[in-house]
Amino acid sequence: MGGSYVGIPSNRYRAVSVTFENDIGKKNQICSWKLSTQNLILGGPGHIVQIDESVISRAMHNRGHDLLRPQRWVLGMYDAASKIGIIVCIPNRKAATLTEIIMRHVSPGSTIHTDGFASYKGLATLPVVPPYIHRTVNHTLFFRDPITGAHTNNVEAYWASVKKSFKRGGQTSSNLLQQKIDEKMWRERYGKTQEETFENIMSQMAEYTALN
């Protein structure tokens, strides 16, 4: 980096960046707040949104604890064309829970790819206009359906990147899980580079402070 960034001396830039990265509470707070102000929607006519639910939970590396630790389920939705995802913590995998979240975050007219999990049945009949086009892949037989081309490879790769970032950050308590997920989603949208992260977090911190 040169001597300054957008008029900010390089030593101040580094100091603010380090402070932000180390202040996990403030970082998560700003990321979650900013996302809460956005209408997070994926897909649309002509777009494919892959959807999959997964457990995000790491071993505690203490004998007996793995079996006692509750599973923490999340629902992932990923638009491969835009390379953007949405992840939501879910209390269960019931159809009513999953379809409510899908209707909130997936635009009508989207083509949805899922596996054959029973809770996804009926997506094509949900009350959205235009309706969803729902394609499934039977993972006991294929990674990609040979007739429809349906697959969930991209959302599964997305999960892998999310879980990898969690391993780097250590264990996450249940009440902070969504905040940590929000940071991942925030960086996809606002922090793809160090410079972009700095510029956006500074403006959003000012925005947040003015409102609070």
| Ranges of each domain in the chain | 39-211
For the chain, first and last CA: distance in Å? 33
- For residues 49 and 129, give the distance between their C-alpha atoms in angstroms, rounded to a whole number: 16
Confidence of residue 90 (pLDDT cuts 50, 70, 90): very high
- The CATH architecture to which 39-211 belongs is 2-Layer Sandwich (3.30)
Amino acid at 177: L
Whole-prediction pTM: 0.79
Band (209; pLDDT cuts 50, 70, 90): confident
Q: What mean pLDDT comes out for the span 90-97?
A: 95
How far apart (Å, rounded) are the C-alpha atoms in residues 174 and 166?
13
According to the model, what pLDDT value does residue 171 have?
55
Averaged pLDDT of the chain: 83
